[in-house]
Amino acid sequence: MRKSFRHSVAASLLALASLGWMPHVWADDLKGTLTTLLSQHDRIRAAEGDLAAARDRAKAALGVRYPTLNVTSHYGYEAQNKFENANTSMPSREIDLKLTQQLWNFGASSSSIEAARLTFKQASENLETTKQTLLLEGISALLDVYLTQRKLEYATQSVSNIKLQTELEDARVQEGSGYSADVLQAKSQLVDAETLRIKIKEEAEVALDRHKTIFGHYPQVEEGSAKLKIPTQLLPISLVEAIKIAQENNPRLASSEFGVKLATATVAETKANELFPSVNLVSSTKHKADAAGTKGYQGEYMVKVEVAYDFNFGLSSIRRLQASKQDRESTARRFRETRDQIEEQVKNKWKGLLTAHENTGLFISKTVIAQELLKHTREERDLGRRSLMDVLAQETKLINTLSEAVAAETNTVAKAYELLEVIGRLEVEWL
């Protein structure tokens, strides 16, 4: 795609604006509206909670680098029966302190810390995915409200026009210069127009309810509000560039890639824990009083290097290691599938934007032609060369063309934002 694509899109949108078709969707404070959406929506808060939890777990994972203090104490009554009448019965008191510093565990600690760090990064990408998805839903809701409201305006205008033309023709019939058949056909067309208006009204109400679901309130349209425009400077200039940007920026792909790294770290941690011992420096002290059948105070002190290893004869260690390797392979396959899916989505969104852009230009031309045809048809009607039905037919065609043009223009805007979302560039700061 040539580098003038972005300028071509912008030019088409300017042409639409000159016809008064650009969306008035509260964009005067669009950034503030979407910022509020991201700060208050429960979906975002839930993802932020996941991120905060992952951050705390990552900090907690660093604890393996520090020594652990174990404190055990008791107070109770102890009785011992011994030979030669040496039985004892006394209150026993004891406190044990044990300080353990891990010296080496063959990389298990490092892998555990890395796994926690990767989990945090994955949660961060999941939060970004949630933000961009919600932003796209919000923009789509705004566009749907705009589109259905404009279509409802055109449908209402169509009903009014047909009513007016019907009344004028009926007056001509009363004067003897009109045709009763035209009046009946006009009334039939009026029923069709009213049916369409009711259908579009239902669509508009659905769009309003969707807006309330996303933003928590119904839209408030203000006069003189700015337009929701395509940030053309963010659009890639070619499909190749779009795919490259998506591979670098798409948060869902990044999250999946972190998942592969996390699975690799888990394999390393499992291998170290299951197949190798841990080496610890242990310092302990015990303070006893009247304990173990011995009156008075007793003190014990010990410093040692301890090697610990657990082995299950059911080969559980080997099984757990194999399971972690299988998890890693499955995660890697899902990552490759996600990468392919995102590339496919980029291609589809790119093609969709090009098609919508081309259709918008065609509908602009079609609408201009329809306006001229209606103008000439009305003039010829006044001269008696055209019938009422000719006028109504051209008016209906113009209304339909206007609706199609608005739909095509809105679709172009929507496709552009969908492309920005899939390549990972849909952020409030850039709108």
Q: 253 has which bridge partners?
A: none
pLDDT of res. 271 = 93
Mean pLDDT of all residues in the chain? 85
DSSP string, 250-274: -HHHHHHHHHHHHHHHHHHHHHHHH
Q: What angle do CA 170, 173, 175 make, to 5 degrees?
A: 115
Which residues, 6 or more positions from 390, have their beta carbon under 8 angstroms from its beta carbon? Answer: 377, 380, 381
Element (H, E) at 14: helix 5-18
- Mean per-residue pLDDT, 85-108: 88
Lowest mean pLDDT among 112-116, 163-167, 182-186, 262-266: 182-186
Angle at the Cα of 398 from the Cα atoms of 396 and 403, rounded to 5 degrees:
95
Query: What span, in angstroms and rounded, lies between the C-alpha atoms of 10 and 22?
Result: 12
Q: Residues 42-67: pLDDT tens digits?
A: 999 999 999 999 999 999 999 999 99
DSSP-derived letter for residue 234 is G
Angle at 423 between CA 419 and CA 425, to 5 degrees: 90
CATH architecture of the region 5-67+126-275+330-430 = Up-down Bundle (1.20)
Render 343-379 in DSSP notation, one character per residue: HHHHHHHHHHHHHHHHHHHHHHHHHHHHHHHHHHHHH
- The contacts of residue 3 (CB under 8 Å, 6+ apart) are 237
What pLDDT, on the 0 to 100 scale, is given for residue 29?
66
* Among 111, 47, 56, 429, CA closest to 251: 47
Identify each DSSP E strand in 143-197 by its residue range.
none
Domain spans of the chain, in order of start: 5-67+126-275+330-430
Residue 57 has what pLDDT? 94
Return the structure tokens found at 327: 């998890």
pTM: 0.81
